[in-house]
Amino acid sequence: MSFSSILTYFAGGYTALVIALFMLSGVFPAAGFAARSLAAYISLIICAIYGALASIVLRILGREQIAQWTTARAFKYVMALTTGVTFEIIDPKHHLETVRPGVFIGNHQTELDVLMLGCMFPKYCSVTAKKALKNVPFLGWFMALSGTIFIDRKNSKDAREAMAGAAQEIQKRKQSVYMFPEGTRSYAKEPGLLPFKKGAFHLAVQAGVPIVPVVVANYSHVLHIKDFVFRSGEIPVKVLDPIPTTGLTSEDVDELTRNTRELMLQEIVALTQKARNKPVAMPARTNGDGVVHASGADATLS
């Protein structure tokens, strides 16, 4: 049996399974979760292959800086078709189009945030990754080809040192980056934020570029893995005004991090309240200030 025949049988069987699960979702809600999960995985694989090919072509054309943008947009449209999920981008002042370079930061809820990036990712922007990933087959190659900003954590004593090389890359290439300062997914059922790590803020200060907060309404009604919930829907995302870092030093990073987190938390609650059309309580304050204070690159990088 040829490879093309195997691929055809696999695609046909996979599609039939997803359709069958969607049909059963009216009776068994968990079937809808399984159907959209399978649809999302195959969408991701399709777009990853497209992204690798697009990166090679754009690299040859000298346009590798838009490789992640074009891959992100492909994922946006494929996921809307296969799962019915999309994100509504609220950017009345067009910051996504006009701020370059900058450090874009956002709250991190679930794996679905990859789709959020697909819907809002600006041109001439990339994600950040550990330098060690650069040599990983396929993934590392795609990242390198598409202009990923690599951060050397292995030989760094703290966030400032780890970000030095990345800051130089941002300045030289005028390339924005997108980071999640919480450092991990919250999987929260109600709006909130985990404590912020300071890597993104050190990076913005060292590069002398603005921080652009991006807030996403809590979407546990669309995806909540613990309850096997995965529904179609449109989730609002709001781009806030850039926060300048000109004239700031590393001594200002703690306050910058704390103030930015407080602003984002207020906006997340307001956006969630608007999306749900009912009051939402502000999360209770903890004893800390919402900032991770630790030494070591892995402890402080986003």
Confidence of residue 144 (pLDDT cuts 50, 70, 90): confident
92 phi and psi angles, rounded to 5 deg: -65, -25
More confidently predicted of 117 and 293? 117
Residue 105 · residue 197 · CB < 8 Å? no
Among 15-19, 99-103, 154-158, 241-245, the least confident range: 154-158
Cα distance between residue 188 and residue 148, in whole Å: 29
Choose the most confident range, by mean pLDDT, from 4-8, 12-16, 89-93, 121-125.
89-93
Instruction: For Cα atoms 301, 95, 267, give the angle at the middle one, nearest 5 degrees.
Output: 65
Q: Whose CA is closest to 226, among 82, 30, 86, 31? A: 30
Q: Which residues are within 8 A (CB) of 72 and not within 5 positions of it... i.e. 6 or more apart? A: 117, 118, 119, 121
pLDDT at residue 287 tops 80: no
Residue 257 · residue 203 · CB < 8 Å? no
Whole-number pLDDT of residue 65: 86
Mean pLDDT of 102-115: 96
Whole-number pLDDT of residue 203: 93
DSSP E strand boundaries for the chain: 85-90, 103-106, 125-130, 149-151, 176-179, 211-216, 223-224, 229-230, 233-239
Confidence of residue 162 (pLDDT cuts 50, 70, 90): low
Entry pTM: 0.87
Cα distance between residue 33 and residue 49, in whole Å: 25
Instruction: For Cα atoms 167, 262, 216, give the angle at the middle one, nearest 5 degrees.
Output: 80
Helix (H, G, I), strand (E, B) or coil at 47: helix
Mean pLDDT of 187-194: 95
Q: Which residues are within 8 A (CB) of 261 and not within 5 positions of it... i.e. 6 or more apart? A: 181, 193, 195, 196, 290, 291
First and final C-alpha spacing in the chain? 47
Q: Which residues are within 8 A (CB) of 264 and not within 5 positions of it... i.e. 6 or more apart? A: 105, 107, 193, 213, 215, 240
Q: Tell me which residue has tokens 């402890």.
A: 299
More confidently predicted of 47 and 293? 47
Strand 229-230 and strand 125-130: the pairing is unpaired
pLDDT at residue 177 tops 60: yes
Whole-number pLDDT of residue 294: 55
Secondary structure letter of residue 190 according to DSSP: S
Q: Where do runs of H (alpha helix) occur along 113-252? A: 113-120, 139-145, 159-173, 199-207
